[in-house]
Amino acid sequence: EAQVTQNPRYLITVTGKKLTVTCSQNMNHEYMSWYRQDPGLGLRQIYYSMNVEVTDKGDVPEGYKVSRKEKRNFPLILESPSPNQTSLYFCASSLARHPSLNEQFFGPGTRLTVL
């Protein structure tokens, strides 16, 4: 089954404790991205990756890091989480960034709470 998986689905942590949210897709997609969703603000893009070893900032990259060492994986790293990073996070992938091919597949989400 074609899918995007995220782990963990729920996480409660404390300020400053480094964490990683994993994202994996099994569709051989080139493009992957991370979004956060907060009430009243919709989905905002954090980082994206056009392909292996190619990553770039989205609209709200501060406080986050990513890596793309393999095509299927795109982990989101919070080196020193803060309470303002409490949010619902989604990973997504698509075949390519051509406008006609960018049907995005989303993961189930990770609900993160930073105390």
Partner 1 sequence: DAKTTQPPSMDCAEGRAANLPCNHSTISGNEYVYWYRQIHSQGPQYIIHGLKNNETNEMASLIITEDRKSSTLILPHATLRDTAVYYCIVETGANNLFFGTGTRLTVIP
Residues that bind partner 1 (CB under 8 A): 4, 33, 35, 40-45, 48, 50, 56, 58-59, 88, 90, 92, 97-100, 102-109, 111
Kindly tell me which of 17 and 97 has the beta carbon lying closer to partner 1. Answer: 97
What's the min distance (Å) between Cβ of 80 and partner 1?
Answer: 24
What's the min distance (Å) between Cβ of 16 and partner 1?
Answer: 27
CA distances from 17 to 72, 76, 83 (A): 26, 14, 11
CA distances from 89 to 2, 44, 50, 77 (A): 20, 10, 19, 12
In the chain, what is the straight-line distance between the N-terminal and C-terminal CA atoms, in Å? 36
What's the min distance (Å) between Cβ of 96 and partner 1?
Answer: 10
Kindly tell me which of 1 and 99 has the beta carbon lying closer to partner 1. Answer: 99
